[in-house]
Amino acid sequence: MTSNTTEKQKKPFWNKKQPKELTVDDITIVDNDMLKRAVGAAALGNAMEWFDFGVFSYLAVTIGKVFFADTSAAAQLIATFGTFAAAFLVRPLGGMVFGPLGDRYGRQKILAITMIMMAIGTFCIGLIPSYNSIGIMAPLLLLAARLLQGFSTGGEYGGAATFIAEYSTDKRRGFMGSFLEFGTLGGYLLGAGLVTGLTSVMPAQTMLDWGWRIPFFIAAPLGLFGLYVRLKLEETPAFQQHMEKQEALEHSKPRLGLFQMMHKYRAQMLKCIGLVLLFNVSNYMLTSYMPSYLTGILGLSELSSLILVMVVMFVMMPLTLFWGHWTDKVGRRPVIAAGALGLIILSIPCLMLIGSGSMWGVFFGLIILGFVHTCFSGTMPATLPALFTTDIRYSALAIGFNLSVSLFGGTTPLLTAWLVEKTHNLMIPAYYLMAAGAIGLITVFTLRETARKPLRGSTPAVATKAEALNLIKKLQRRNKKTDPKNATPQ
């Protein structure tokens, strides 16, 4: 991989106001094999995270019976989602710890640490005795394991999205980034499919006694494999360039403190929070709340509801890659705006279809919501890292992402379940989604388009030397048109 920069220039050489003679050494040429490995390793970590979410969501009713045995069915569901949401409270703390470490010591090292911590937290849930065995200690230990998961996950998504974005070429960053959410859906499907398979072959009492533990035990080998893959990777070209610049400057530029960074980049942070709110409210409503909504509120059989949501997830996987590819052509903003409008317009019709009780009605309602959500899952992994410069990208993204997830995403199942319980209004999920769509649409209008452009603070990234030469010629023609006196022929 070639990733050299010139030391003399103070502004990016592609800046129209400061044209200069260009060479191939001024452009990052991405090794395709390394890119594929980087995307696979990052997606694998996200799959590991969402394997746990799939298992936890699909076992919500069972977990409620195991750890909150002395309460009503509705209270068990709310308590389970409360434990689920509690992990999100510590995610910003994880982001504040792992983000700055990732910006200082490298993305690859921190992503290896978060991977093994997530695996340990998930594995430990399978070891916890039931409420009937040890009483109040059971839910407390469950909470402790979830907090460990939440803390490690605080450094996972921001690091993984940063890793893929910094490895990708400018022309295909949207498509490459969409594999991160492809891994999300794949991990969720693996967890949900495992629970569904166990539910279909095991008697209900056996599942309640010990069968529910099996999916959590599988986290250990998955985590070890993911750790091995991540340790084999090299650091991203953008981070290598950044460290070379830091060494050349002999640390003359002081590193921003956490609160200084949040103040200086507050506009970008607010945009990040708004986009993540849009993305994650629809995400957790569909993946975490809907299985329990179908079973506990609408009265569908547990197996039917599990299979329905799984089919929807399966359909969403290729759609996510489609939108990622399409944003590289038409831009990120139009696709995100279309998805936000979709939530505003279609949420009520979708919930009416789901509430009809008809299997086909439920299926089409979920499919439409899934289709809308892929407008976000296919675009956000490339959109969010582009908000920030290389030196603070991991920190800013980890903090902004996790603040928004903690406040709005992870609490979605809990608040929605509570509101439905209190109001007896089955359209609450639709109103929740519409509000998220409105906030997201406002945020989109504040964004600048980043598709097919270099990341902030990084050199352009291309796939081949020929593409680099073509880019040089294109920039020289533009410079000549802008200021013929400064254009230097190659």
Classify residue 137: in a domain, yes or no. yes
Confidence of residue 282 (pLDDT cuts 50, 70, 90): very high
Q: Please tell me the distance from the alpha carbon of residue 376 to that of residue 327, in angstroms, as a whole number.
A: 11
Q: Is the dihedral of CA 121, 122, 124, 128 positive or negative?
A: positive
Classify residue 6: in a domain, yes or no. no
The predicted structure's pLDDT at residue 287: 78
Instruction: Indicate the number of domains in the chain.
Output: 1
* More confident: 130 or 357: 130
The predicted structure's pLDDT at residue 21: 63
Q: Please tell me the distance from the alpha carbon of residue 426 to that of residue 199, in angstroms, as a whole number.
A: 27
Classify residue 488: in a domain, yes or no. no
Classify residue 244: in a domain, yes or no. no
pLDDT above 90 for 26: no
Classify residue 184: in a domain, yes or no. yes
- Over residues 216-268, the pLDDT tens digits come to 998 888 888 888 888 888 888 888 888 887 776 655 556 677 778 888 899 99
Q: Give the mean pLDDT of the chain.
A: 85
Classify residue 154: in a domain, yes or no. yes
Could you list the residue range(s) of the whole structural domain that residue 89 is in?
Answer: 24-236+259-471
Q: Please tell me the distance from the alpha carbon of residue 239 to that of residue 133, in angstroms, as a whole number.
A: 50
Classify residue 115: in a domain, yes or no. yes
The predicted structure's pLDDT at residue 51: 86
Q: How many helices (H) and strands (E) does the chain have?
A: 24, 2
Q: Please tell me the distance from the alpha carbon of residue 290 to that of residue 309, in angstroms, as a whole number.
A: 8
CATH code where residue 62 lies:
1.20.1250.20
